[in-house]
Amino acid sequence: MIPPASLAIHGSGVAASSCMCLLARAGLTAAWDGIGRLSLPVVMLSESSQHLLRDIFEQPDLFAELPQIRKRIVAWGSAAPLVLPHAAVVVSEQVLLDRIQSSMASPSQGLPDSDWTIFASKPLPASVDELHFGSRTAAAARVTLNPEAPADACWAESLEQGWLFLLPGPESPWLLSVGSSAKDLLSESRVIAKQLAEVHEGGPGFAAHPRVADPLCAPGWFACGTAALGFDPLCGDGVGNAAREAILAVAAVRAVLDGADVTAVVEHYRTRRLAGFGRHLKLCREFYSSGRSGPWWDEQINACDRGISWCRSKLQPGNQFSYQLRGFSLERIER
């Protein structure tokens, strides 16, 4: 393998950290600027995402002593609340980053011109647009639970003008309100409101609708993490998605360095990411279709339909992938 003149990683979150770790494991060095967005107050990681991050960072005890979620209580549509078994951990994003970045080199001041750059945070190249499928926003607020509320459960509830998600945190529970304000949604709530003793002042709102960079890649660069795709928190495992995108981006860079055709690898990355985004939109549509009926929910369904149609227009009918991941490597599919 002939190494390139330089590799660079732009970003500071899970995707950027995963890229740096995977490149180092492959014997490659990259400049890293550590620049990115503010970290989230709390994230929930499924068992599959935990397993993936342990493998990437080779830290078997990465999630030791974190609060556990053992059940999910869902009040969706007009159905009676369902209690479902669940297995996840909750952690502040900054604590997670501190753990996975403990052995990483310090970031550099700015990035040099590079042969290949992985953008795991904005800004992207000037030629890139961001397409939005919806306009719904969310806000997170610290809450105090009633004494009888279970501390090992997360809660989801749909309402006429949006939905609520209640998540225990490592220091404090958090309430996510999507669509309308927490105050307005809680005034209609028949389940989550009963779990709360107090709602504290929340932070600024943020986008909670699917978004995609167009294009997602080109010869010389790949976008991954939040720079590439924005997922609806209702159906998106943000941390797990960031790690998976990083695996594919690094595998694509390595394949090119090993002599694979640049155009073919870039096209494979593009189609893989668009196919995954399309699946996310379809899953979102299922959930919004089964939520409360009304104009707000119809608007979300229409936005999903626009996104699904756009994805189809960007993918060839009967598209077949030219490569496949084996572990952390990209291999050509022989037909």
Q: Check which CATH number belongs to the domain holding 194 and give it.
A: 3.30.70
Would residue 124 count as lying in a domain?
Answer: yes
197 CB burial (10 A radius; 0-12, 13-18, 19+)? exposed
Phi, psi of 282 (to 5 degrees): -65, -40
Q: Work out the average pLDDT over 151-161.
A: 95
Q: Are 104 and 20 in contact (CB under 8 A)?
A: yes
Q: Work out the average pLDDT over 169-193.
A: 93
Q: Check which CATH number belongs to the domain holding 224 and give it.
A: 3.50.50.60
What pLDDT score does 168 carry?
A: 87
Specify the pairing of strand 82-91 against strand 43-46: antiparallel
The domain tally of the chain equals: 2
273 in the same domain as 178: no
238 in the same domain as 176: no
Instruction: Enter the tokens of residue 221.
Output: 């660069």
For 127, the domain range is 7-41+92-134+209-316
Per-residue pLDDT band for 319 (boundaries 50, 70, 90) equals: low
Per-residue pLDDT band for 83 (boundaries 50, 70, 90) equals: very high
298 in the same domain as 191: no
253 in the same domain as 156: no
What pLDDT score does 263 carry?
A: 95
Q: Give percent of the chain above pLDDT 70.
A: 97
pTM (global) more than 0.85: yes
Q: Work out the average pLDDT over 297-324.
A: 91
Q: Work out the average pLDDT over 206-228.
A: 96
273 in the same domain as 126: yes
236 in the same domain as 121: yes
Would residue 37 count as lying in a domain?
Answer: yes
Q: Are 116 and 34 in contact (CB under 8 A)?
A: no
Would residue 172 count as lying in a domain?
Answer: yes
